[in-house]
Amino acid sequence: MAEAAGLYYETHGPEDAPPLILSSGLGGSASYWAPNLAAFAEHFRVISYDHRGTGRSDRALPAETSVEDMAADVVALMDALGIGEAGFIGHALGGMIGIELAIMTTRIERLVVVNGWRTLDPHTARCFDTRLHLLRDSGPEAFLHAQPLFLYPPDWISAHDADLVAEAAQQLAHFPGAATVEKRIAAVRAYRPELIDLAATPAWLVMATRDDMLVPLASALDVAAPVEWAKIHLFDWGGHACNVTDPENFNRVVLDFLRR
């Protein structure tokens, strides 16, 4: 088990290739990127990690945590691995971590934000409220059973139901605890990036999916608004977790951006 700065991490690809860090969303798991690893590892030294409080990383969280704290964890991981600069792909919460890294450091060369947001939309807030009610009133099993509804398109869920049932069982076995989930949701709800001085900001690619059940399209596209050089790519289909549902197209678009 590889661990640095309290974080479990995995590396894929040649050691001498340019580093590329992958950061998942609310679940916080390195395994979220499984459909993308092989394609990225052909060109990069890929580092995926479990967020603090989740998976195989240090499970202890302070009374309150923040996206800024999560970004500081990535900096500590980079320092521990001797990485000066890296590309960064973040999904949802992971995208916010990437935005914060672009604000607090000059060490991110290229940033990809997938179905993220700068300001919490009322629809997304309702989704979080619903998930919290499930967690508090019905427990982790109900919380995880409902999770695919927010992540994937209906037709994809129908075709992968058996896999999702098995995945939920694994997630339940490694569930970080209700308190940790609530702290992480509170952190992402509270984050309001102050994009003041972005002179040293890296190249940005903002990706959004039209049929995202969790993040409205306008909210995801708003990430690009303060960055006049940001590139935008829209997927017509794929849901919130478009890198999982449509990895071939996702990988192609991302690699085209990263390898320019």
For the stretch 166-197, pLDDT in tens is 999 999 999 999 999 999 999 999 999 876 55
> Contact 214/115 with Cβ under 8 angstroms?
yes
pLDDT at 162: 98
Cα–Cα distance list, 108 to 75, 179, 186, 258 (Å): 10, 31, 26, 12
pTM: 0.97
Domain count, the chain: 1
Using one digit for the tens of pLDDT, what is the confidence trace for 104-118?
Answer: 999 999 999 999 999
Rounded to whole angstroms, the maximal C-alpha distance in the chain is 49
List all residues 6 or more positions away from 135 whose beta carbon is below 8 Å from its beta carbon: 142, 143, 178, 181, 182
Give residue 23's domain range.
3-258
Determine the Cα–Cα distance for residues 219 and 124; give it in Å rounded to an integer.
Answer: 9
pLDDT tens-digit map of 214-241: 999 999 999 998 888 899 999 999 999 9
173 contacts: CB under 8 Å, gap ≥ 6:
none
Is residue 178 a contact partner of residue 204, using CB atoms and an 8 Å limit? no
Calculate the alpha carbon distances from 241 to 25, 112, 179, 236 in Å: 9, 14, 24, 13
Residues in the chain: 260
Q: What is the pLDDT of residues 124-183, one digit of tens each?
A: 999 999 999 999 999 999 999 999 999 999 999 999 999 999 999 999 999 999 999 999
Average pLDDT for 242-248: 98
For range 12-21, the mean pLDDT:
98
Residue 25 sits in a domain whose CATH number is 3.40.50.1820
State the average pLDDT over residues 49-78: 96
pLDDT at 15 over 60: yes
